[in-house]
Structure formats: C-alpha cells, structure tokens
Amino acid sequence: MPRRNRPQASHKRAKAETGRSGPGSSPFGWATTRTESGPTGAESEQFTVRTVPGSRATKPYRCPGCDHEIAPGTPHIVAWPTDLPGGADDRRHWHNGCWSARARRGPTRRWS
C-alpha cells in the first residue's frame, strides 16, 4: 500500500485549536512586536518594531533608510517611536537590511 504524506488528524485539530500557524506568530500573520534602539540621530529613542511577512505586505512603501520603494509582497520591518502617542502617521516601513544597518545609515530624508 502506498504511503500518504498527510498530517494526522490530531495535528490538524491541535493547530485549529491554537489558531496559530507557528511559534511566536499572532492570528493576524504578524510576528510579535519588540523594542529596539532607533536609527542614526535617534539612538537614544526606543522604537517598537514589527516584522511584516511578504504575504501581508499588500501596498508599496518608501523605505527611509535607502529612499527606495518596498514593493508589495516584500517582507519588511515596521518601526515607530515607542514613547510617542501617535498612530499610523508615526510608523515607517524599512527594508530588513536597511533597518539592520540603521546604526551606520540614518534616514535619507526628513520624515514629514
């Protein structure tokens, strides 16, 4: 008899009960948020950072680190100042590499 490569029914039930698709993920497909230091010029500020998977990136954004467009479907980082009581106006979408290099490279233009 041929072998079938399907998960057992108990695995499906366990996954459905938790409502998660993997460790550390939320039901919305986001990774959990974390706090990190800011880019050049704002090193003393704390930023709340969230990773956006490519499947959740549906709009183009402009990366402040390199001033290039982040195309829809590209995984990236969303960062905003932790201590400011702002909303969507304070969030900035960064390429993963640009956010990683934020200590060596600041925003290319003023955020307005």
**β strands within the chain, DSSP E:** 34-37, 46-52, 61-62, 69-70, 76-81, 92-94
> What does the alpha-carbon distance between residue 31 and residue 27 come to, in Å, rounded to a whole number?
9
Among 71, 88, 67, 70, residue whose Cα is nearest residue 79: 88
pLDDT of 33-53, one tens digit each? 899 988 877 788 899 999 999
Per-domain residue ranges of the chain:
29-100
Q: Is the pLDDT of residue 77 over 90?
A: yes
Q: What is the mean pLDDT of the chain?
A: 76
